[in-house]
Amino acid sequence: MAAAEGRMDKMSDRVDGLTPEEGEVMDALIKAWNEFAGLERQHPDELRDFTDGIHRCQDLLAVRIARREYPIGWPCKRTGG
């Protein structure tokens, strides 16, 4: 995220390694951040906690890039179905 209270913009031309589908997830995370950042605070830790959750989701998206680009070091373990 940018500054703690800052807004982020949707990535229109992806240069981040995400597929279009993953990019939609990232854009939804950005939208969630922007919406939550605009809410009145009810607890001093809630913005940090929300940020941590967004970062965890972004970490998972980053690992998907690593699996595609470096499949030997970051193997996929697909499940059935």
| Domain range list for the chain | 20-69
Q: Check if the beta carbon of residue 21 is closer than 8 Å to that of residue 27.
A: no
Question: Residue 5 pLDDT > 90, yes or no?
Answer: no
Task: Give pLDDT, residue 79.
Answer: 81
Task: Give pLDDT, residue 72.
Answer: 94
Q: Whose structure tokens read 């998907």?
A: 64
Per-residue pLDDT of 28-73, as tens digits, reads 999 999 999 999 999 999 999 999 999 999 999 999 999 999 999 9
DSSP codes joined into one string, 34-55? HHHHTSPPSSTTHHHHHHHHHH
Residue 7 one-letter amino acid: R
Average pLDDT over residues 1-18: 61
Taking the whole predicted model, whether its pTM rises above 0.75 is answered as: yes
Q: Check if the beta carbon of residue 2 is closer than 8 Å to that of residue 9.
A: no
